[in-house]
Chain A
Amino acid sequence: MKNPRTYIDKMHMWGRIWSVSALCVLFAVPLVFSLYYNAFPPFNTFLSAALKIIPIYWLTAIVEVVTYTPMLGAGGTYLSFVTGNITNLKLPCALSALDRSGYKATSEEGEVVSTIAIASSAITTTLIIAVGVLAFGPSIVKITAPGSVLAPAFEYVIPALFGALGASYFAKHWKLSIFPIAVGVLVYVFVPTLAVGTMIFVTIVAAIAGALVMLKLKVVE
């Protein structure tokens, strides 16, 4: 048997190579377009556009990398950040796969399961978007357009997703769940339009603080 330590180390090595390659592919898109059409943006215009986006996005990136990395496993992290849609897709997908498998997130089995889940999810999503744009563009517009019979299904995909995912978790850990949800609801009462990406940090802190207090009081073990 190979030295098991090498698997995670290899994942990090491959992950770094893939991340740097992904950066190249990412920048190839505007670069090739600008070269092909000889259409480089004037520096000042680009700067004013970028400055509107960078402060929020880069700050969010730092917080996201620090928050999600421990939950996604090594392979899963590299894959998730390249393919995106983490909170609304990759993370729930990995969590539910881990939950059903019964492995711990920190175990190597957990690492394997979450990587498989995220990879399958990424492939499915990439293919659906590709096929959707190429073949069904106009009909998808009809399906999801306001007023269509099926529109509500897609409008409420987030509560459907997190309701389903939450139920199995909350049933098992209801004591841990009440406090963060209560905090989230309370914060929304006063800051109704808070971005969910920001709220995540509030509720994670609440959940962990609540858990620590309950561990101390031996309410949970």
Chain B
Amino acid sequence: MDFKNSGIMYALAALVVVFVTAQSLFFLVKAWKRGKELGIEAAKMKQTVISSALFSVAPAISILATVLALASALGYVLPWIRLSVIGNLAYETVAAEAALEALGTSMANSDLNTIEFSTVAWAMTVGSCFPLVLLPFLCKRIHKAMHKVLGGGTAENGAPKKGKISANVGDVLGAAAFIGIMAAFISRSIMGVQKDGPSAGFMTIAVLLSAMVFTVALDLLCKKKHLTKLEPFVLPIAMFGAMGIAVLLTQTLPPEWTEFVWRSFNENGEIVWRGTV
């Protein structure tokens, strides 16, 4: 019996999936009810559900791919569990590698014994649990502090609280923080080099630009033709469209183009300019 994909592992996975789904439904129902009380139209909330679900499909498939990539060393179930709770695509692979390295083995080894396997499971769990330890202490404090500075939240009389800084300054800073996050991923697509992902070059920039062009074009279309129903789907459509462009380009253009990156690793593991993947 393969212990990595055994009945007990599947039972644990079922527990995790049920738990995570239950928690999500719980918060969904609470938020929905509160939204109704606040007078948010049901249609708007429904749109949020649908567009968020659609938006999540492609990233979820990449996460699924990570699960399957880890499967040769760890079986299907442990990576599945780890990526369903707290897990993050990038971290779990690194954590599993680090734990296997400490055991003197690697991801390429597919016959771990139960002790080695449980060491990896414990190490991944201990490594990833910390946010859940911090949140009960910090989350409320951080939100209170934020509301003090930016305003928002709700005062005793039911009106939104005023912050220390004016509302528009708060808006600008909030937008800036969001932009900061996106800028990290976008600048990596423009100039970064990755070992386990595509380095920046022709393809990353082509996909980035097509996603942007699709979004702007669809947004314009929605505005011009008053297609309010299409609005929640702009982002998922643009994303799938850009992914389609990636497939189209690799199928039609010569590899000198599609494999062109600014910099890549040479055979000594050093990063050099103007190589190919």
Q: Does B37 contact A (CB under 8 A)?
A: yes
- Residues of the A chain whose Cβ atoms lie less than 8 Å from the Cβ of B16: 25, 29
- Taking a contact as CB atoms under 8 Å apart, the answer to whether B84 and A83 are in contact is yes
- Given contact pairs A12-B140, A83-B24, A161 touches B247 in the complex (Cβ within 8 A): no
Shortest Cβ distance from residue B91 to the other chain A in the assembled complex, whole angstroms: 7
User: In the complex, which of the residues A100, A108, A126, A166 contacts B51, with contact meaning CB atoms closer than 8 Å?
Assistant: A100
- Given contact pairs A15-B139, A121-B53, A180 touches B179 in the complex (Cβ within 8 A): yes
Nearest B residue to A77, CB-CB: B139
> Per-position contact with A for B14-54: 1 when CB-CB < 8 Å, else 0?
01110111011111101110110110100011011111110
- Residues of the B chain whose Cβ atoms lie less than 8 Å from the Cβ of A79: 23-24, 27
User: In the complex, which of the residues B24, B175, B184 contacts A196, with contact meaning CB atoms closer than 8 Å?
Assistant: B184
Q: How many A-B residue pairs have CB under 8 A?
A: 584
- Taking a contact as CB atoms under 8 Å apart, the answer to whether A192 and B193 are in contact is yes
- Taking a contact as CB atoms under 8 Å apart, the answer to whether B119 and A49 are in contact is yes
Question: Complex formed: what's the CA distance from A106 to B146 in Å?
Answer: 9
- Residues of the B chain whose Cβ atoms lie less than 8 Å from the Cβ of A85: 59, 63, 83, 87-89
- Residues of the B chain whose Cβ atoms lie less than 8 Å from the Cβ of A132: 61, 64, 67
- Residues of the A chain whose Cβ atoms lie less than 8 Å from the Cβ of B274: none
- Taking a contact as CB atoms under 8 Å apart, the answer to whether B85 and A22 are in contact is yes
Give 19 A-B contacts (CB < 8 Å), ordered by A residue: A12-B139, A16-B136, A22-B85, A49-B122, A57-B95, A83-B24, A89-B60, A106-B146, A109-B35, A124-B53, A128-B57, A129-B64, A129-B83, A133-B67, A137-B68, A140-B61, A164-B235, A188-B190, A203-B180
Most buried by B among A104, A161, A214: A161
Chain A interface category by residue count: 35 or more
User: In the complex, which of the residues B115, B170, B244, B249 contacts A42, with contact meaning CB atoms closer than 8 Å?
Assistant: B115
- Taking a contact as CB atoms under 8 Å apart, the answer to whether A100 and B232 are in contact is yes
> Top 3 A-B pairs ranked by shortest CB distance?
A106-B152, A184-B187, A163-B211
- Residues of the A chain whose Cβ atoms lie less than 8 Å from the Cβ of B142: 65-66, 69-70
For B, the interface residue count at a CB cutoff of 8 angstroms equals 171
Most buried by A among B56, B85, B117, B251: B56
- Taking a contact as CB atoms under 8 Å apart, the answer to whether A96 and B235 are in contact is yes
Nearest A residue to B251, CB-CB: A149
Q: Does B125 contact A (CB under 8 A)?
A: yes
- Residues of the B chain whose Cβ atoms lie less than 8 Å from the Cβ of A81: 86, 131-132, 135
> Per-position contact with B for A71-109: 1 when CB-CB < 8 Å, else 0?
100110111011111111101110111001100111111
Other A-B contacts than A49-B103, A184-B187, 13 sampled, CB-CB below 8 A, are: A14-B26, A27-B129, A52-B99, A53-B99, A57-B127, A65-B135, A79-B27, A84-B85, A112-B35, A115-B31, A123-B28, A129-B63, A166-B186
Q: Taking chain A's interface residues, is the majority helix, strand, or loop, or is none over half, making it mixed? A: helix
Q: Does B108 contact A (CB under 8 A)?
A: no
- Taking a contact as CB atoms under 8 Å apart, the answer to whether B171 and A116 are in contact is no
- Taking a contact as CB atoms under 8 Å apart, the answer to whether B59 and A89 are in contact is yes
Q: Does B221 contact A (CB under 8 A)?
A: no
- Taking a contact as CB atoms under 8 Å apart, the answer to whether B183 and A116 are in contact is no
Nearest A residue to B79, CB-CB: A133
- Residues of the A chain whose Cβ atoms lie less than 8 Å from the Cβ of B17: 126, 130
- Given contact pairs A22-B85, A30-B118, A42-B115, A123 touches B53 in the complex (Cβ within 8 A): yes
- Residues of the B chain whose Cβ atoms lie less than 8 Å from the Cβ of A61: 130-131, 134
User: In the complex, which of the residues A5, A121, A122, A162 contacts B154, with contact meaning CB atoms closer than 8 Å?
Assistant: A5
- Taking a contact as CB atoms under 8 Å apart, the answer to whether A156 and B186 are in contact is no
